[in-house]
């Protein structure tokens, strides 16, 4: 379902449809597929096929992170760092960047290092 959602998101082999991408990402996420939750969060964060909704994006990124999809942890941390859909909280951002980094996401490590360098 996640892969089919991606095809609809990008319009690869099918006519691009954010609405259909959302449907398939919801199915993947409902089946506890972390990348599906992360991708659904992305749709909400950037308002693609849905109204932009940072609170909904946060919920989806959090679920992805809890399911072990560490890009979701990085995306959740960015929301805390930027105060989008949540109260700005550098401690929470660092917590989720670290989880992302520990999960092997290079960008999470870089984001953690940057946040540590500016919040001393």
Mean pLDDT of the chain: 96
Give the chain's domain count: 1
Q: Give pLDDT tens digits for 40-91.
A: 999 999 999 899 999 999 999 999 999 999 999 999 999 999 999 999 999 9
How does residue 116 score in pLDDT terms, banded at 50, 70 and 90? very high
Contacts 24+ apart (CB under 8 A), 99-104: 99/65, 99/70, 99/73, 100/65, 100/70, 100/71, 100/73, 100/74, 102/70, 103/68, 103/70, 103/73, 104/70
How does residue 120 score in pLDDT terms, banded at 50, 70 and 90? low
The domain in which residue 22 lies consists of: 2-118
Read off the CATH number of the domain in which 63 is found.
1.25.40.10
């Amino acid at each position: 379902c996640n892969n089919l959602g991606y095809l609809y998101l990008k319009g690869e082999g099918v006519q691009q449809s954010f609405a259909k991408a959302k449907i398939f990402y919801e199915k993947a996420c409902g089946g506890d597929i972390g990348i599906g939750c992360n991708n659904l969060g992305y749709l909400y964060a950037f308002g693609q096929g849905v109204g932009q909704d940072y609170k909904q994006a946060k919920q989806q990124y959090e679920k992805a992170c809890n399911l072990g999809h560490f890009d979701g942890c990085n995306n959740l941390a960015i929301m805390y760092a930027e105060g989008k859909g949540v109260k700005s909280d550098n401690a929470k951002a660092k917590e989720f960047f670290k989880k992302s980094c520990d999960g092997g996401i290079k960008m999470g490590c870089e984001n953690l290092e940057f946040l540590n360098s500016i919040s001393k």
